[in-house]
């Protein structure tokens, strides 16, 4: 589920001391930076020493990132801080000129929409946003729920521009998109919009509760029909620990990326990212060995790498002819706090392979900015 365990919520008020080293932890390197030909992080010996020294920096929480570009600025949206220290649990916004350094730039809402709290009661934060542009507006889908429950909602907010300096900048609360209750066999969280090869709009969703689902949207409203068909795309054995899915189209195939395992346990998280592909958006999605993702299939595409533990909550960002895998991880050099990583995707024989990380790695490039 996209929500920290109780122990992970015990965070100091505004700042914490970054750790020089986390001891007693065996870190397995898997699939990280599979092609060294892609530009490396550029860390020097002096920055490595700086990153490993004990230092104080602002508390940061980036989970389930999604990314867009407008003009020369990259915009990163992420799950609200569950501790309420940053933005009172609302969807966070960060900006970057270069994909490497990120600066906090407020939240989408000042307060959680009243329709969510009236439906779900008081919840600490909003979850797992997804940003896309169509029909003249930026569409931000996001979720509201609570840990261990499928009494969940997916909401929508829109704005004509992402630039907060523009007089046109304003987020409109467009209300409910889709929901689930305890009577359903799916969980309506972790929304991700996808545009099919024919231009149709669809929404991927799901977490545990029988896996990853897909519904069709009306492009004019950004919402589904009253009772949409719910397609099943991926499932694993009970408890079906997969979520945070998204689909991207490349060279004749739709690729389904899924976060598999358990998140939100800091350095004990087991998240890793798998992928399958299909010629049709509704599936079936098969991995490289031909196993259907509905039959527990999935090819590993990104795992733990050095101090970056439990990668997941992924989003595929396409900028011109280059695709990037954007995801969060738990920082082994910072008590397991969640932070963002961006890697270029190289397509090899029809399958995605991740390149070197662009955001400075823990212990090697110094702490993130904010």
HEC sequence for 55-79: EEEECCCCCCCEEEEECCEEEEEEC
Catalytic pick among 242, 243, 314, 334: 243
Catalytic pick among 64, 81, 314, 331: 64
Distances (CA, A) of 91 to 64, 129, 219, 299: 10, 7, 23, 30
Closest CA to 260 of 316, 222, 298, 315: 298
Q: Is position 314 annotated as part of the catalytic site? A: no
The CA dihedral of 43, 46, 50, 51, to the nearest 10 degrees, is 20
Q: Distance between CA 281 and CA 57 in Å, rounded? A: 44
Q: Is position 240 annotated as part of the catalytic site? A: no
Q: Distance between CA 100 and CA 337 in Å, rounded? A: 18
Side-chain half-sphere exposure of 201, counting CA atoms within 13 A: 18
What residues are annotated to the active site? 64, 243
């Amino acid at each position: 589920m996209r929500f920290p365990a109780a122990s992970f919520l015990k965070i100091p008020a505004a700042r914490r001391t970054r750790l020089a080293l986390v001891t007693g932890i065996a870190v397995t390197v898997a699939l990280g930076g599979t092609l060294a030909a892609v530009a490396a992080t550029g860390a020097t010996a002096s920055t490595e020493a700086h990153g490993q020294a004990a230092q104080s920096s602002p508390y940061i929480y980036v989970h389930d990132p999604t990314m867009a570009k407008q003009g020369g600025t990259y915009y990163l949206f992420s799950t609200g801080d569950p501790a309420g220290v940053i933005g009172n649990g609302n969807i966070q916004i960060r900006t970057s000129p270069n994909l490497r350094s990120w600066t906090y730039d407020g939240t989408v809402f000042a307060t959680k929409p009243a329709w969510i709290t009236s439906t779900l009661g008081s919840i600490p934060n909003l979850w797992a946003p997804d940003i896309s542009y169509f029909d003249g507006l930026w569409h931000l889908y996001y979720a509201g729920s609570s840990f261990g429950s499928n009494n969940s909602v997916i909401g929508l907010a829109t704005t004509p521009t992402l630039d907060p300096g523009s007089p046109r900048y304003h987020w409109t609360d467009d209300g409910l998109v889709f929901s689930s209750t305890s009577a359903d066999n799916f969980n309506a969280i972790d929304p991700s919009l996808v545009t099919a090869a024919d231009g149709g709009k669809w929404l991927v969703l799901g977490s545990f509760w029988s896996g990853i689902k897909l519904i069709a949207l009306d492009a004019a409203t950004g919402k589904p029909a009253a009772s949409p068909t719910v397609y099943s795309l991926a499932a694993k054995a009970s408890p079906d620990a997969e979520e945070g899915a998204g689909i991207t189209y490349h060279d004749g195939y739709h690729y389904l990326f899924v976060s598999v395992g358990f998140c939100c346990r800091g350095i004990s998280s087991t998240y890793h990212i798998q992928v399958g592909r299909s010629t049709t958006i509704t599936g079936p999605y098969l991995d490289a060995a031909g196993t259907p993702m509905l039959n527990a299939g999935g090819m590993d595409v990104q795992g733990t790498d050095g101090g970056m533990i439990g990668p997941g909550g992924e989003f595929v960002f396409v900028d011109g002819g280059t695709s990037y895998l954007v995801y969060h991880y738990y920082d082994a050099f910072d008590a397991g706090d969640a932070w963002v990583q961006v890697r270029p995707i190289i397509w090899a024989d029809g399958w995605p392979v991740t390149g070197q990380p662009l955001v400075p790695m823990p212990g090697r490039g110094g702490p993130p900015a904010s």
